[in-house]
Every structure is written in C-alpha cells, then in structure tokens.
Amino acid sequence: MNSQTPVIALKNVSKTFGEVRSLSGIDLEIYPGEIVGLLGDNGAGKSTLVKTIMGFHRPDAGGEIWFKGEQISDWSVAKARGLGIETIYQERALCEQQPIWRNMFMGREIVNKFGKLDVKGMRKEASRLMSEHMGFTSTAVHPDNTVLTMSGGEKQGVAITRALHFEAELVILDEPTVGLSLSETKKTLDFIQNIKASGRSAIFIDHNIFHIYPAVDRMIVLDRGKVAGNYKKSDITMDELIESMYRVARTGNMKEQK
Amino acid sequence: MTEKSTATAPKNNAARPPSVWRRFGMQLGIWSVGIVMWLAFVVLAPSAFTQPEMYLAFASSTPIFALMAIPLTLVVITGEIDLSFPSIMALSTCAFTKVVAGGAPIIVGVLAGFLMGISCGLINGYLVTKFNIPSLVITIGTQFLFLGLELAWTNGSGVDLTPTNYATISKIFVGRTFFGVANQFWWTILATLLLWYILNRTRFGSHVFLTGDNKISAQLMGVNISRVKQGTFALVGFFAALAGMIGSFEVNYFWPTMGGGLLLNSIAAVFLGGTSVFGGSGTVTGTFVGAFIIGAINAGIVAVGINAFYTQVFFGLVIIASVLLQAIISKRVKS
C-alpha cells in the first residue's frame, strides 16, 4: 500500500503473561507521516501492544521489531526512546512528587560532558515548552512546582510536551483524551494534526470512534490479541466501521462485510 | 485546604515559582528542631554546652552512624530500607584486619574493606531487585548472615589496632587535623557534599527520586529501577566499610561485635531528617542534621544532669515530635 520503509514494523509479535496470551501473531507497520488509529474493546490488547512497541514488555520468542528497515534485537524502553519513539500514556507516567522539569526529562535527563545534570537548562526548556506550545500560564506550571498540584489537563500537558521536546519520529497516544475538558481535548487533537503536518507518525488509541475517525489516515482493529481489521479511511465510512466493531465484539470476525 | 496566596494572581498571569515554604518547609522543620534543642541544652547546661570539649566529643562519635545514615537516605528515597549495614560494617572491617594480618600492605587492606562493603551492598541490592523481595525482610536475613560470617571468621576475637602499626591510616581516618576536630567529622561533611551532588546533580540521583516516587512511571520512561536500587545499596555498603574502619581506629581496636546499637541511630537520623518513608522525597542535609540531633541528645541528657535512664524517653519524644511535625508540614505543603 505504501512503497516507503515503515517507521516501525512488528512481525509476528506475541506476548504471553503466564497462561494468558495478550497478543498473538501481530503484524503491524506504521509509515512516515501517517496517523494510525488503534481500536479495540477493553482487554483487546491495545495497552500491551503499546508497551511492547515501547520496549516495556519483551515480545515472546519469534516476534520481530523493525525500526526504519532495521531489525532491533535488544529492544528496551531506553532504546525505543533513543530512536525517537515517545508515548503519552493513559496513566500519564508521571512522578507526582517531583518537579515538572524532572518529569519532563524523566529517563532522558540532560547532562553536560562530565555527567552533571543541566538543571538550569532543563528548567528553562520545560518552562518554554509549557508556555509556548501548550499555552499554560497557570501559576501551577512553574518548572519547579510538583506535578501533584496540577490539574488533569496540565498533567497531560507535561506528558505531551515531553514528546514535543524530544521531537519523536513516532508518537503513541494511549487514550489521551480521558478525563480532559472539551478545550483540552481539542488541544490534544490539534497536537495530533501537528505531528502529521511535520511529516512524523502517530498511533492514536481512543475509546471514542468520533475522536479517532476524523484524526487518522488508517485504522487497525484489535480483538482478543489479534489484528482483526486494517482499513484505510477512504475504504470505510464511520457507520460501516461502527457496524463492524459491533460484529467483532460479538463474533470476533470482521471479514463478513463485502 | 485554602491557600490565601493563590488569590493574588501575579502580573500577566505568569508562572510563579513555588513559595519558599513549599520548597523548604520540611528542611525548615528539621533545622528548627535542631536549633530549639540546642538552645534548650545551652540554657539548661551552660557549663557543658558553652565548652568546646562538648562539640569536639560530638564530632568524634556522631560520624560513626552519620556516615551510614547519609547514604541510607538514598535507599529510603527509592522506597527500600537496609537493616544490614551494622553487620556490613563489622564484616568489612574484619576483611581489612584479615588482609593486613595476611601480610598485605595496609592500603590493600583498606581497599579490601571497601570491596567487601560494596559487595555486601550489591548482594542486598541483587536479592531485593532480582527476586522482588521486600528489602525489610531480606536485609534482616543478610544482617544475620554478614554478622555470622564475620563472627565465624574472627572466631569472636578482636584485633589490636594501636597507632604504632597504623600511624598513617589512623591519622587519615581519625586524626585531629584541623582545630582539634576529629577527621571523621570532616569525612562526614565530605560524604554529605558528595551524596548531595550525586542525588541532585547526576542522572543516577534523578533516577533515585523517580524510582521511589512511582516505579511504574519510571520504568515506562526507561529508568532501570533495578540498577538504581543496586547502586544505592552499594553506596551504603561502601560507607558502612568506611564507618567500620573509622570506628575501629577511633578506639584503636576492632571489636567483632561492633555496629550493635548503631542501626536505630542511623535509621532515626534519616527519618528525623525528613525523608519520606514512602519514598520519592528526602535530603541528605536533613539526615546530616538529624544525625547530630541524635548525637546531641545522648550527650545533652547527661550534661543537663538528668538520670541517664531518661535518655530513651527523651529520644522517643524528640523523634515522635519531629516526625509528627513533618507529617503536619507535608500535609500543608501539599494541599
């Protein structure tokens, strides 16, 4: 469907926790400049898939992860982030007692050549990103303030600016609009469009089809740990998509349609 | 809780730094407890507390457990605890004496002591992170193990460390170089500065806070929490070895049962210093002050002329009061 090399490709990726097989034989490719919606019921394996792409979970033997046409064998969170994949997690992945700057640079702190933390630089950058890109002016978002004092939307802002700062090639948004106000949701959706405009890619996970459908180029439906459907937006209307989502939930099969 | 300050919005609605109270409230708490207690002692026992001898005595005795309390702070910030460091102290000092007795140069013996300390710390860290065993439980085990190994190794007999044979090393560790103050005091200052730097100005230090605050978030962002915890346990091991050798040279003798009684002093110093038992926050300077408060109580009680049997009562009251104060401050600060 696309002659370019995918930013990331999963080949036959499975993940088993004890007796439970959360993912089985997932094949998935994300191309540059593409926004892909990931849909699926609760327990379909969306979060496990995200955490596997990010290197938090290690895929079962036999699964392969390719980044820009190269197979990566020792996949880890540090490696994934180093290559330019950032995730905005549903649970925000923040450390609430810590100041904003420490959260923003969590795991990828800026150090000088002697290994000394550049605290001043991180404060300044955090402050700049928060005010320029997220438009935050509230008193709670000074870089030295702890995340504890912030609102849900502001916490989300920290998670988003984190991805902004590192100029990720691929941004994964795991249910980013949960608990956000209307204007905060719009801000998040705008952020996704900016990713596309700058030629980078995103995976967008949401329960709300009405958020996903307008924002994405392609949709992948997960069901019981398997890819149950893969549609270009031009190939399916929103009504058909909703219809087949119901069918999947009932029968686990999407392919009945024409 | 209501906070008046938020009502007065700053100009241009610009972002404001957190107030001094919010940032340093806990620190102010511990410093004021220390100062109030010191003033009380000065008023109640002026003859002792206006004499330099009293402070020189503090400076030689407190460092023995302060040196272990300071790195222990990092372990507690990651949300773990180490109860085995008094045994590490004994075992690594034992290693030092054995290597020297075997004919090696003293410097090799000292290095062997440090190596033993670090190894014991790494064993603790490995057991805690690899098998996900609560450190409270596993370090009770290693505490017996390390001390048991040391007692078996020495067969329970001590080693004479008179300065005639150990002139240089004894001078370095416990000499009275500046103003007659024991060198171990300066070592403690140095350890505080070093660990402050590690905690606040290195990636490792940042990860110590993140690990203790929310380990899942830290892992999701690529922090290797096992390595971080192992590092903090190793630091405690290293400093336990230092404290063991300093403590032995101070009395010119290696007692196989050394370290007994220091456990609770060190742990109390950490919590007095405002480090959270839940992890994620704490300071080494707070622990430093906490250690000297504990040291002052011992000396102060006797100097004031109170029956020494009341020492424990006083200990208990000061620790409970400080921790209550911190609980109240942190509740206010976070609201």
Residues of B in contact with A145 (CB under 8 A): 17-18
Comparing alpha-carbon positions, the chain A residue that sits nearest to B210 is A95
Please answer yes or no on whether A136 and B15 come within 8 Å at the CB atom.
Answer: yes
pLDDT: which is higher, B211 or A164: B211
- CA distance to partner chain B, nearest, from residue A82 (Å): 10
For position B227, what pLDDT does the model report?
97
The pLDDT of residue A14: 94
258 residues of chain A, pLDDT tens digit each: 456 899 999 999 999 998 899 999 999 999 999 999 999 888 889 999 999 999 999 999 999 999 999 999 889 999 999 999 999 998 889 999 999 999 999 999 999 989 999 999 999 998 888 887 766 666 657 888 888 878 888 888 888 888 878 888 999 999 888 878 888 888 888 888 888 888 899 999 987 888 889 899 999 999 889 998 898 988 888 888 888 888 887 876 665 544
Q: Contact at 8 Å (CB) between A49 and A220?
A: no
3-class DSSP state of B81: coil
Cα distances from B261 to residues A32, B64, B117, B159, B211, in angstroms, run: 64, 11, 19, 20, 30
**Which residue has better confidence, A116 or B8?**
A116
DSSP output for B219-256: HHTT--HHHHHHHHHHHHHHHHHHHHHHHHHHTTEE-T
Chain B contacts in chain A segment 55-114 (CB below 8 A): 55-56, 76-78, 80-81, 87, 89, 91-98, 102, 105-109, 111
Determine phi and psi for B87, rounding to 5 degrees: -75, -35
Closest residue, chain A, to B13 (C-alpha):
A137
Closest CA relative to residue A245, chosen from A209, A192, A204, A193: A209
pLDDT of the residue at B2: 38
Cβ(A39)–Cβ(A212) under 8 Å?
A: yes
Asked whether residue B10 carries a pLDDT value surpassing 60, the answer given is no
How large is the ipTM? 0.89
pLDDT digits (tens, 9 = 90+) for A35-55: 999 998 888 899 999 999 999
A102: chain B residues, CB-CB within 8 Å: 206, 209-210
Please, are residues A194 and A161 in contact by the beta-carbon 8 Å criterion? no
Please answer yes or no on whether B201 and A91 come within 8 Å at the CB atom: no
Are A118 and B200 contacting, i.e. CB atoms less than 8 angstroms apart? no
Beta bridge partners of B31: none
| Closest residue in chain B to residue A101, using alpha carbons only | B206
Q: Taking CB atoms and an 8 Å cutoff, what residues of chain B touch A111?
A: 202-203
Per-residue pLDDT, B67: 97
Q: Give B7 to chain A, closest Cα distance, Å.
A: 11
Q: Do A107 and B216 touch (CB under 8 A)?
A: no
Q: What is the pLDDT of residue B8?
A: 40
What Cα–Cα distance (Å) separates residue A132 from each residue in A103, A164, A176? 18, 11, 20
Give the Cα separation of B279 and B66 in Å (integer). 20
Pair A215, A185: CB distance under 8 Å = no
Mean pLDDT of B244-252: 95
CA distance B199 to chain A (A): 10
Tell me which chain B residues have a C-beta less than 8 angstroms from the C-beta of A97.
209, 213, 280-281
d(CA A77, CA A68): 17
Strand intervals (E) in A31-154: 35-40, 64-67, 70-71, 85-88
- Report percent pLDDT > 70 for chain B: 92
Asked if A38 and A214 count as a contact pair (C-beta separation under 8 A), the reply is no
Beta partners for A132? Answer: none
Tokens for A138, please give them: 């509230």
Among B228, B200, B225, B242, CA closest to B63: B242
According to DSSP, the residues that pair with A10 across neighbouring strands are A28, A65
Which residue(s) pair with A218 in the sheet? A36, A232
Residue B1 is predicted with a pLDDT of 38
Query: What is the residue extent of each domain of chain B?
Result: 47-334
Please check whether residue A151 touches B, CB under 8 A. no
Residue type at A182?
A: L
Question: Does domain B47-334 bear CATH number 3.30.70?
Answer: no
B282: left (phi over 0), alpha (psi -120 to 50) or beta: left
Q: Which chain A positions have a beta carbon within 8 Å of B217's beta carbon? A: 91-95, 106
Asked if B214's CB is within 8 angstroms of A96's CB, the reply is yes
Q: What is the mean pLDDT of residues B30-46?
A: 86
The verdict on a CB contact (< 8 Å) between B206 and A117 is yes
- Supply the mean pLDDT for chain B: 89
State what percent of residues in chain B have pLDDT above 90: 62
Please give the C-alpha separations between residue B230 and each of A74, B65, B138, B183, B195, in angstroms, as whole numbers: 22, 21, 14, 29, 16
Domains and CATH numbers, chain A: 33-57+75-84+168-258 (3.40.50.300), 88-165 (no CATH)
Size of interface A-B (CB pairs under 8 A): 108
Name the minimum distance, in Å, from the CA of B88 to any CA of chain A.
Answer: 30
For B83-112, the pLDDT digits (tens) are 999 999 999 999 999 999 999 999 999 999
- Reply yes or no on whether the pLDDT at B180 is more than 80: yes
- B210 and A97: CB-CB below 8 Å? no
> Per-residue pLDDT tens for B219-242?
999 999 999 999 999 999 999 999
DSSP state of A27: E
Least CB–CB distance from A102: residue in B13, B209, B224:
B209
Over the range B211-250, which residues count as b (16 or more CB within 10 Å of their CB) and which as e? bbbbbebbbbbbbbbbebbbbbbbbbbbbbbbbbbbbbbb
**Which amino acid appears at position A70 of this protein?**
E
Q: Write out the residues of chain B at the interface with chain A, using a CB-CB cutoff of 8 A.
A: 6, 9-10, 12-18, 23, 200-203, 205-207, 209-210, 213-214, 216-224, 280-281, 334
For residues B69 and A248, give the distance between their C-alpha atoms in angstroms, rounded to a whole number. Answer: 59
Check residue B4 and give its pLDDT: 40
* Interval B24-52 mean pLDDT: 84
8 Å CB contact of B224 and A141: no
Residue of A nearest to B207 (CA): A107
Residue type, B174: V
Residue with the bigger pLDDT between A144 and B327: it is A144
Tell me, yes or no, if A139 comes closer than 8 A to chain B by beta carbon. yes
Chain B: closest CA distance from residue A172 (Å): 13
Rounded to whole angstroms, the Cα distance separating A35 from A25 reads: 22
DSSP string for residues in B18-47: PPHHHHHHHHHHHHHHHHHHHHHHHHH-HH
* Predicted structure pTM score: 0.90
Contacts of A130 in chain B (CB under 8 A): 15
Chain A positions in Cβ-Cβ contact with residue B14 (cut-off 8 Å): 137
Distance, in Å, from the CA atom of B143 to the CA atom of B80, rounded to the nearest integer, reads 15
Other C-beta atoms lying within 10 Å of the C-beta of residue A23: 26
Please state, in angstroms and rounded to a whole number, the distance separating the CA atoms of residues B334 and A146: 9
In the prediction, which pLDDT does A256 show? 54
Q: What pLDDT, on the 0 to 100 scale, is given for residue A95?
A: 94
Strand order in the sheet with A226-232: A85-88, A170-174, A201-205, A35-40, A218-223, A226-232
Concatenating the DSSP letter of every residue in B84-107 gives -HHHHHHHHHHHHHHHHHTT--HH
Contact B213 A78 (CB under 8 A): no
Interchain pair A81, B222: CB under 8 A? yes
Whole-number pLDDT of residue A166: 81
